[in-house]
């Protein structure tokens, strides 16, 4: 098994707060790893550091055998990393189809031409001329978009030409995942894919993520709904106050005293914490 | 050394005047995250209210000041209540555009009432001068300093010790939270606009007395200076705005001492761009932070564009081609040729502002670069006009992109400010680079449009040429929008963070958008230059930039057909119906306001 993602001693401080404090994390190809922890534990900050949206104060991130620490997000995406966002960031005025096609941006031939003025100028000329290979490529991608949307049953396919701003919240989250899949990612980062979803939608999302896992997709997941985490994860990482407080198979982590204390010890008890508490008792 | 003392005093006095403007801008930005482009208009209203008081009513100075404060404060309340409050919850660019519209309307009303001629504003302060060391200070200098200090003190006391002042600070920190705690944020907005406008009007009065000269044109420069001062100190930061104003006043004063008056504004805008790029949060601001996750569709009003059937497009193009055969009035044909040239400008702006989401307020500069490039290529290098025009387009694309490139890292309102500053820099460089551009004299004797030996003098010939170029460029742009590249540009506009996360390098695509946009505008400017046979640094004014933006919004941001239709509506129709030019700007301002309020997606929808 090859290590796909290797995060070591990653630190990010905001003012006086250390949001991510010396986190080590490794994900091997084909693995399903979940990160759990109370709100404000630093999970999303960790995602931002891995995906290049934020730069660590110290520590390194290795992805697919390369050091990518501090690289711009577009460069990291081009190496095969896709992520979704906690609150959803779809392109509101683009249709569902176009949103997913943006996911395939890095796989387009013209977009990969080096970012020198020459490469960009050639991309511009190609867009105006639209040579045969480009049309073929777009047709192929279009078919791929339909295949990806097919995974979501009839949630998105009938709305393929609707602008994303007209979709329901749950559908926007689905579009985000579809867009991420279109990148054909080596590693998929999912930031709370079921946030704000009702029980039916959550169950559907769980089935979908399970299906992705079955297909061999390597996934790093942030999630508060613990039954989903416990059922799907190969390994669970628990964060609190920027520190990794536990790591291991779901069954072990669930009974780890440090984890229980972290959840129960917090003054704000959220839904997820209550679940842990209930399961622990 | 005495002159240095005088320059310092002058810098501090001017800085104090800027401070009165900038503090208001900072307060407004703090509370409603809005850059108020109408601040300069209130300032000029203040100056004219002062004029009425002093020359017609013969009021004593304290009463003059009180009347200016009261009337401008009231004007501020009206601006907020009528122009801006209905836009709450809209796209973030909407109120900014509304303040531009309000500014056009106010400036034009002032011009209609008092004429565009500069007027003398007699100072009511005795002409005493106090000699200190080698220099001297006038009574008016002292008065301005005293008013600056007093205003700062009163403002500080208000924010610190009154309940409404607390409410203002609470709203600035977190609007929603303040609202939930029972703060009447509408009242806070009203109060802030009243204070900002009262101070702005006072600033206009003082500057009028200081230079003994006021004109409606002072408004735009004042807005710019206030914004520059505010950006230096950190947008929304009140003490920062005061510091920025004094800094700007001193820099300008010393700059004039060293290089001469025509460089004065160049300093201001170069500082603006440097600060924006290097310290986007101002010299006092905090460090980088990740932009918050936006709600969806915050930039432009979501809508579905109106799709024109193919036959209709063909029919419209055919009508356009045949028009000179049917319409014999050369006046109408000339007017429409002019509309086609503006149509190119609107196409150019709708691509960067609409498709790529980079609101540019300096687009007239691209026309100027294109016009000068083509004129100089034809005159100095002897190129034929047919070669010079497309070459000028390419040069404009290149220079335009390089000029904006440093500002590619900016977002939202800051892009608008930066492009505004860059536009001013371009026209000031044209003014001062005499060896290349012939400076203030301008370029005369630009060869006319011609193909080979055939000059295009007749109105229909010019019409067909401009129409053909417009249709050609529009088809190219439409093809671009429908390519994967068009999709990428719209993705950057909608959410640049998500776009970057999916492998899009925004700079590469913004660069392409500005290059194509520059080419289109450059061609328009080049044709204009050959048509006019004379251009100077004022041929393409910043009013044209605002007009271009109004066109892009009227047509629907990013909408190719809409841009052309808007050019006909805003340039062609007023001309054909012979609306006086004073009323024309008023119409543009009102059109912009009404559009933003009632049809933000434009006539034909955003693409």
Q: Is B157 exposed, middle or buried (0-12, 13-18, 19+ CB in 10 A)?
A: exposed
Closest residue on chain A to B505 (Cα): A74
pLDDT bin (cut points 50, 70, 90) of residue B297 is very low
B290–A110 C-beta distance less than 8 A: no
B491–A86 C-beta distance less than 8 A: no
Q: Which of B381, B415, B414 is closest to B395 using CA atoms?
A: B381
Interface test with B, best of A48, A71, A91, A178 (most B CBs within 10 A): A91
What pLDDT score was predicted for residue B412? 75
What pLDDT score was predicted for residue B353? 92
A72–B491 C-beta distance less than 8 A: no
pLDDT above 70 for B351: yes
CA separation for the pair B309, B597 (Å, rounded): 29
Domain boundaries in chain A?
A: 1-80+185-281, 93-182
| Cβ B16 vs Cβ B202: under 8 Å | no
What pLDDT score was predicted for residue B345? 97
β-pair type (B129-132, A32-36):
unpaired
Closest residue to B494, CB basis, from A51, A53, A91:
A91
Q: pLDDT (tens digit, 9 = 90+) per residue, A217-233?
A: 999 999 988 889 999 99
Closest residue to A87, CB basis, from B293, B297, B298:
B293
Predicted TM-score (pTM) of the model is 0.90
- The interface predicted TM-score of the complex, written ipTM, equals 0.90
What pLDDT score was predicted for residue A274? 54
A89–B495 C-beta distance less than 8 A: yes
| Cβ A157 vs Cβ A151: under 8 Å | no
B488–A128 C-beta distance less than 8 A: no
Chain A residues with CB inside 8 Å of B511's CB?
117, 120
Is the CB of A64 inside 8 Å of chain B's CB atoms? no
Chain B residues with CB inside 8 Å of A128's CB?
476, 479-480, 483
In this structure, how many other beta carbons lie within 10 angstroms of the beta carbon of residue B124? 20
B503–A183 C-beta distance less than 8 A: yes
CA separation for the pair A79, A102 (Å, rounded): 16
Structure tokens at B479: 């093809």
Q: pLDDT (tens digit, 9 = 90+) per residue, B190-239?
A: 999 999 999 999 999 999 998 888 998 899 889 989 999 988 888 888 88
CA separation for the pair B89, B83 (Å, rounded): 14
What pLDDT score was predicted for residue A280? 52
Write phi, then psi, for A232 (nearest 5 degrees).
Answer: -95, -25
Least confident of B110-114, B172-176, B496-500, B540-544: B172-176
Contacts of B512 (CB under 8 A, 6+ apart): A120, A121, A123, A124, B485, B489
β-pair type (A3-14, A81-83):
unpaired
CA separation for the pair A241, A14 (Å, rounded): 13
| Cβ B499 vs Cβ A183: under 8 Å | no
pLDDT above 80 for B499: yes
CA separation for the pair B429, B49 (Å, rounded): 35
Closest residue on chain B to A129 (Cα): B479
pLDDT bin (cut points 50, 70, 90) of residue B304 is confident
pLDDT lower than 70: segments of chain A: 1, 264-281
Contacts of B561 (CB under 8 A, 6+ apart): B308, B313, B474, B555, B604
Show which residues on chain B lie within 8 Å of chain A, measured between beta carbons.
289-290, 293-294, 296-298, 300, 302, 304, 476, 479-480, 483-488, 490-491, 493-495, 497-505, 508-509, 511-512, 515-516, 606
What is the SS3 assignment for B556?
Answer: coil
DSSP B80-107: IIIIIGGGTTS-THHHHHHHHHHHHHHH
Options 3.40.640.10, 3.40.50.720, 3.40.50.300, 3.30.70.2860; CATH of A1-80+185-281: 3.40.50.300
Residue with tokens 């941006």: A105
| Cβ B214 vs Cβ B220: under 8 Å | no
Question: A82 has which bridge partners?
Answer: A188
B508–A91 C-beta distance less than 8 A: no
CA separation for the pair B350, B548 (Å, rounded): 9
Closest residue to B497, CB basis, from A53, A128, A134:
A53
What pLDDT score was predicted for residue B521? 98
CA separation for the pair B574, B36 (Å, rounded): 28
Q: What percent of chain B clears pLDDT 70, i.e. is strictly above it?
A: 96
What pLDDT score was predicted for residue B1? 44
Closest residue on chain B to A131 (Cα): B483
Question: A191 has which bridge partners?
Answer: A222
Chain A residues with CB inside 8 Å of B515's CB?
124
A91–B499 C-beta distance less than 8 A: yes
A105–B503 C-beta distance less than 8 A: yes
* Strand order through the sheet with A3-14: A17-28, A3-14, A58-63, A66-67
| Cβ B503 vs Cβ A111: under 8 Å | yes
Question: A34 has which bridge partners?
Answer: A221, A236
CA separation for the pair B484, B462 (Å, rounded): 35
Least confident of B73-82, B175-184, B315-324, B481-490: B175-184
Q: pLDDT (tens digit, 9 = 90+) per residue, B404-427?
A: 999 898 877 788 889 999 999 999
Torsional class of B290: left (φ above 0), alpha (ψ -120 to 50), beta (otherwise): beta
Torsional class of A192: left (φ above 0), alpha (ψ -120 to 50), beta (otherwise): left
β-pair type (B135-138, A81-83):
unpaired
Domains located in chain B, CATH noted: 2-278 (1.10.3470), 329-541 (no CATH)
What pLDDT score was predicted for residue B285? 58
- C-alpha distance from A206 to closest chain B C-alpha (Å): 24
Closest residue on chain A to B496 (Cα): A91
- C-alpha distance from A103 to closest chain B C-alpha (Å): 6
DSSP B111-162: HHHH-SS-B-----S---EEEETTEEEEHHHHHHHHHHHHHHHHHHHHHHHS
Is the CB of A105 inside 8 Å of chain B's CB atoms? yes
- C-alpha distance from A54 to closest chain B C-alpha (Å): 7
In this structure, how many other beta carbons lie within 10 angstroms of the beta carbon of residue B13? 24
Is the CB of A115 inside 8 Å of chain B's CB atoms? yes
Closest residue to A54, CB basis, from B290, B293, B484:
B290
- Chains A and B: how many Cβ contacts under 8 Å? 133
pLDDT above 80 for B249: yes
Is the CB of A91 inside 8 Å of chain B's CB atoms? yes
- C-alpha distance from A81 to closest chain B C-alpha (Å): 9
Closest residue to B484, CB basis, from A93, A108, A117:
A108
Q: Which of B38, B48, B209 is closest to B116 using CA atoms?
A: B48
A93–B516 C-beta distance less than 8 A: no
Mean pLDDT of B438-448: 92
What pLDDT score was predicted for residue B289? 44
Structure tokens at B39: 């601040």
Chain B residues with CB inside 8 Å of A115's CB?
505, 508
């Amino acid at each position: 098994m090859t290590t796909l993602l290797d995060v070591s001693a990653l630190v990010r401080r905001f003012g006086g707060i250390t949001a991510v404090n010396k986190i080590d994390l490794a994900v091997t190809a084909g693995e399903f790893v979940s990160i759990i922890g109370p709100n404000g534990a630093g999970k999303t900050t960790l995602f931002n550091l891995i995906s290049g949206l934020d730069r660590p104060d110290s520590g390194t991130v290795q992805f697919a055998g390369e050091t990518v620490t501090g690289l711009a997000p577009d460069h990291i995406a081009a190496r095969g990393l896709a992520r979704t966002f906690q609150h959803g960031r779809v392109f509101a005025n683009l249709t569902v189809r176009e949103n997913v096609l943006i996911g395939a941006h890095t796989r387009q031939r013209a977009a990969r031409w080096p970012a020198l003025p020459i490469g960009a100028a050639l991309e511009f000329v190609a867009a105006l001329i639209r040579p045969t290979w480009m049309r073929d490529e777009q047709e192929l991608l279009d078919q791929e978009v339909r295949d990806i949307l097919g995974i979501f049953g009839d949630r998105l396919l009938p709305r393929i030409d609707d602008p994303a701003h007209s979709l329901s919240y749950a559908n926007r989250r689905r579009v985000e995942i579809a867009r991420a899949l279109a990148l054909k990612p080596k590693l998929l980062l999912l930031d709370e894919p079921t946030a704000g979803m009702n029980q039916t939608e959550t169950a559907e999302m769980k089935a979908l993520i399970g299906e992705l896992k079955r297909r061999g997709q390597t996934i790093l997941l942030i999630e508060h709904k613990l039954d989903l985490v416990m059922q799907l994860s190969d390994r669970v990482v628990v964060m609190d106050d920027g520190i990794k407080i536990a790591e291991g198979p779901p069954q072990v982590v669930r009974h780890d005293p440090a984890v229980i204390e972290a959840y129960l010890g917090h003054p704000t008890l959220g839904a997820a914490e209550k679940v842990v508490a209930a399961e622990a008792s | 050394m005495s002159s240095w003392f005088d320059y310092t005093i002058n810098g501090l006095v001017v800085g104090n005047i800027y401070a009165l403007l900038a503090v208001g801008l900072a307060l407004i930005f703090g509370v409603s995250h809005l850059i108020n482009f109408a601040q300069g208009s209130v300032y000029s209203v203040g100056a004219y209210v002062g004029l009425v008081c002093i020359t017609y009513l013969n009021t004593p100075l304290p009463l003059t000041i009180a009347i200016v404060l009261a009337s401008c404060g009231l004007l501020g309340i009206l601006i907020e209540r009528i122009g801006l409050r209905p836009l709450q919850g809209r796209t973030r660019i909407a109120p900014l555009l509304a303040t531009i519209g309000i500014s056009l309307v106010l400036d034009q009303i002032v011009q209609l009432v008092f004429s565009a001629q500069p007027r003398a504003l007699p100072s009511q302060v005795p002409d005493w001068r106090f000699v200190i060391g080698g220099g001297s200070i006038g009574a008016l200098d002292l008065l301005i300093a005293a008013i600056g200090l007093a205003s700062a003190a009163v403002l500080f006391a208000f924010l610190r010790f009154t309940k409404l002042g607390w409410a203002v600070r609470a709203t600035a920190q977190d609007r929603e939270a303040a609202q939930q705690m029972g703060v009447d944020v509408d009242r806070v907005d009203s109060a802030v606009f009243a204070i900002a406008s009262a101070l702005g009007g006072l600033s206009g009065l003082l500057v009028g007395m200081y230079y003994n000269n006021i004109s409606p044109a002072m408004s735009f420069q004042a807005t710019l200076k206030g914004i520059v001062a505010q950006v230096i100190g950190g947008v929304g930061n009140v003490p920062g705005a005061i510091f920025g104003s004094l800094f700007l006043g001193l820099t300008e004063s010393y700059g004039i001492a060293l290089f001469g008056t025509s460089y004065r504004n160049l300093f201001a805008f170069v500082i603006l761009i440097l600060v924006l790029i290097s310290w986007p949060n101002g010299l006092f601001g905090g460090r980088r932070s990740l932009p918050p996750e936006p709600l969806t569709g915050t930039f432009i009003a979501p809508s579905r564009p109106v799709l024109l059937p193919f036959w209709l497009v063909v029919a419209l193009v055919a009508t356009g081609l045949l028009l000179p055969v049917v319409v014999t009035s050369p006046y109408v044909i000339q007017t429409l040729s002019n509309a086609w040239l503006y149509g190119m400008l609107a196409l150019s702006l709708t691509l960067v502002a609409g498709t790529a989401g980079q609101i540019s307020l300096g687009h007239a500069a691209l026309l100027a670069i294109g016009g000068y490039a083509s004129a100089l290529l034809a005159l100095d290098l002897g190129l034929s006009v047919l070669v010079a025009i497309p070459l000028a387009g390419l040069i404009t694309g290149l220079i335009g992109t390089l000029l904006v490139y440093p500002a590619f890292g900016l977002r939202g309102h800051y892009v608008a400010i930066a492009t505004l500053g860059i536009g001013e820099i371009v026209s000031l460089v044209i003014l001062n680079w005499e060896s290349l551009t012939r400076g203030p004299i301008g370029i005369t004797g630009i060869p006319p449009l011609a193909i080979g030996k055939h000059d295009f003098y007749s109105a229909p010939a010019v019409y067909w040429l401009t129409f053909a170029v417009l249709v050609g460029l529009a088809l190219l742009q439409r093809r671009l929008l429908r390519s994967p590249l068009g999709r990428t540009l719209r993705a950057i506009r909608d959410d640049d963070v998500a776009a970057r996360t999916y492998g899009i390098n925004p700079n590469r695509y913004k660069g392409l958008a500005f290059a194509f946009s520059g080419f289109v505008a450059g061609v328009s400017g080049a044709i204009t230059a050959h048509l006019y046979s004379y251009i100077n640094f004022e041929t393409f004014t910043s009013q044209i930039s605002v007009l271009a933006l109004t066109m892009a919004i009227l047509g629907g941001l990013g909408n190719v057909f809409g841009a052309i239709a808007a050019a006909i509506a805003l340039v062609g129709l007023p001309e054909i119906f012979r609306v006086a030019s004073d009323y024309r700007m008023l119409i543009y301002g009102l059109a912009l306001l009404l559009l933003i309020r009632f049809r933000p997606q434009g006539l034909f929808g955003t693409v």
